[in-house]
Amino acid sequence: QVQLVESGGGLVKPGGSLRLSCAASGFTFSDYYMTWIRQAPGKGLEWVSYIHSRGAPTYYADSVKGRFTISRDNAKNTLYLQMNSLRAEDTAVYYCARDDGWHFGYWGQGTLVTVSS
Amino acid sequence: QSALTQPRSVSGSPGQSVTISCTGTSSDVGAYNYVSWHQQHPGKAPELLIYDVTKRPSGVPDRFSGSKSGNTASLTISGLQVEDEADYYCCSYAGTYTPWVFGGGTKVTVL
């Protein structure tokens, strides 16, 4: 069955960096576009970034453009999100999700990123 | 891209029907038939409920239905059940460079 497992979250100081990973299994990872979506505590969902099946092109929300980088390793069935220059407003649960054709058919369980001094 | 507009909360008694609206613009909801709905129980990840405005993934009860008129999409839950108490988010494709926009979420309470 399809599984998406995020990791790499934690507590980081403002201005710091963190790399999130999303390990995929149960499907041919290289066939699918993938997305990162986040949810601040007590808030709604926000689309963050998107990557085509072969690694390019990539797209970013204005709120993270220039600070976050999405990438993937199809040989390792893994999606990544490199987050630099982190701000307090980046505090959220980060989900990876599979794009099943204009919708997100499968989500991971999420990983919490807390940006605080 | 601004978030889609949803009511903050709706409620109903078991067996009743409730409808959640999701209002966007002619650049997102009105432009594409790629509206989806996700259900999120407390502390859990969202799950796909409806996609392409009206389609249900396998395993989703037919009590859940979607529709769209102009710039507004709607999710209807018929025969409300206790386990339907959750947050519901709409999502629409919005074009190449900012592909997706979400609604702010609606909390459904079963009285």
Beta-carbon count within 10 A of A26 CB:
11
List pLDDT tens digits, range B6-45.
Answer: 999 999 999 999 999 999 999 999 999 999 999 999 999 9
Q: How far is B85 from chain A (nearest CA, A)?
A: 16
Which residue among B45, B96, B99 sits closest to A108, beta carbon to beta carbon? B45
**Which tokens sit at B90?**
């709409």
Report yes or no: A103 and B48 within 8 Å, Cβ to Cβ. yes
Q: What are phi and psi of B31, to 5 degrees?
A: -95, -25
Q: What is the pLDDT of residues B85-101, one digit of tens each?
A: 999 999 999 988 788 99
